[in-house]
Amino acid sequence: MQPVNNGANNEVVEILLIDDHLPDIVLTRKAFESGEGHSRIHIARDGEEAMHFLMQEGKYADSTRPDLIFLDINLPKLSGYEVLEIIKRDADLRTIPVIMLTSSDSKKDIKKCYSLYANSYLVKPDTLKKYIKMVQRVEGFWCNLVKLHK
């Protein structure tokens, strides 16, 4: 695996957003599009779809391995906890940073996600302006400063 030289070479950072709430998907996509990073967003609407994408199964056989994952907790079919646990147990996937992006600010949820090795935990802000600003800051950090592995 080669490290991604994100800022210098303007390489595209592949992002998998795992969320079932359409307004949040639209907001997140809009925030990334208005940012300065070079990222491509892939969407999975439930936990099973996310795992098919990550394992490159079925219609996702030719999918690109994401460099970064944004994961909601409350998902149909497989919960965000289950998806996180599977990712972090898998030798090929565990190095992908997983950012929990959820509406829950419960200490119990935060503790559980970190105990399952989430790389960070973000609570979705309550206004459009704050949401876009948060996503752009996260993008600036993960897509421009951090060296990711492919």
**Domain 12-144: which CATH number of 3.50.50.60, 1.10.4160.10, 2.30.110.10, 3.40.50.2300:** 3.40.50.2300
> Does the pLDDT of residue 7 top 80, yes or no?
no
Average pLDDT for 91-96: 95
% pLDDT > 90, the chain: 63
More confident residue, 1 or 10: 10
Contacts of 15 (CB under 8 A, 6+ apart): 32, 39, 40, 41, 42, 66, 67, 68, 69, 70
Global pTM reads 0.89
Return the ∠ at Cα 13 (arms to 37 and 24), rounded to 5°.
75
Q: What is the mean pLDDT of residues 100-109?
A: 94
| Contact predicate 68/148, CB 8 Å | yes
d(CA 120, CA 63): 25
Chain segment 16-56, per-residue pLDDT in tens: 999 999 988 998 888 888 766 678 899 999 999 999 999 99
What are the residue ranges spanned by the domains of the chain? Answer: 12-144
Give me the pLDDT at residue 150, please. Answer: 63
